[in-house]
């Protein structure tokens, strides 16, 4: 029996995942969490065989959660299940600790297959992104400036692009406002943005923001 942890901030979505996955017979959802912090706590308490994680969580964010679980448990089997189809997010998820990456636009059977593969310790990427993602992971050239962003920096950037005030970002990510300001500065430096207008333009070009 494969014991799963589901982490997604939408209860209705989690309920749908649970029904879909438990149809397999040898899968059981041992726990559910709506935030990254709760997901991390449940991972420690339940020690599931695999966690299926959304990346757009309301607090510490999915990339940060991947990195924290991987830091605590290097053998953790983690599957990112995300609305983000662009390769940058997928590459960052894999680098943060995900063994698999499935987009939410994938057919239900793709998620079922991904869970079985990742639970068995094998990589799995949904077909709609697999070719691009494997090519990006094989890429031998030096990383671009965007690739140099840490999971935390990507989460801060995601919230900044959404117009979230610094104080709210600090609370959501358990940081001080000063740290958020410093991270904001570091992100601009890494991406070569001289100001916030250039930062938004670069982020949109990289597929990190909406027009």
pLDDT for position 112? 92
pLDDT tens string 4-21: 999 999 999 899 989 999
Task: State the residue range of the domain holding 174.
Answer: 146-205
DSSP string, 160-184: HHTT--HHHHHHHTT--HHHHHHHH
Tens-digit pLDDT profile for residues 26-60: 899 999 999 999 999 999 999 999 999 998 888 88
pTM: 0.68
> What is the strand order of the sheet 100-103 is part of?
27-33, 2-7, 50-53, 78-82, 100-103, 124-125
Three-class SS state of 208: coil
Of 102-116, 120-134, 184-198, give the lowest mean pLDDT range: 184-198
Clarify whether residues 11 and 111 are in a common domain.
yes
Residues 126 and 159 in one domain: no
Out of 138, 161, 182, a domain closes at 138
């Amino acid at each position: 029996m494969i014991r799963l942890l589901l982490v997604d901030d939408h209860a209705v979505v989690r309920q749908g995942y649970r029904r879909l996955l438990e149809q397999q017979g040898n899968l059981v959802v041992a726990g559910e969490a709506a935030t990254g912090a709760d997901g991390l706590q449940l991972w420690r308490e339940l020690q599931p065989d695999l966690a299926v994680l959304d990346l757009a969580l309301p607090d510490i964010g999915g990339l940060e959660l991947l990195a924290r679980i991987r830091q605590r448990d290097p053998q953790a089997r983690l599957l990112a299940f995300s609305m983000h189809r662009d390769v940058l997010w997928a590459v960052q998820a894999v680098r943060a600790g995900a063994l698999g990456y499935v987009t939410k636009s994938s057919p239900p059977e793709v998620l079922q297959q991904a869970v079985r593969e990742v639970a068995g310790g094998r990589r799995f990427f949904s077909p709609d992104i697999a070719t691009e993602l494997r090519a990006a992971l094989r890429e031998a050239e030096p990383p671009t400036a965007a690739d140099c962003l840490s999971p935390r920096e990507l989460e801060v950037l995601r919230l900044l692009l959404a117009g979230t005030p610094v104080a709210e970002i600090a609370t959501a990510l358990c940081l001080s406002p000063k740290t958020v300001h410093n991270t904001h500065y570091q992100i601009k430096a890494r991406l070569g943005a001289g100001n916030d207008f250039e930062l938004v333009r670069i982020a949109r070009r990289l597929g990190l923001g909406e027009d």
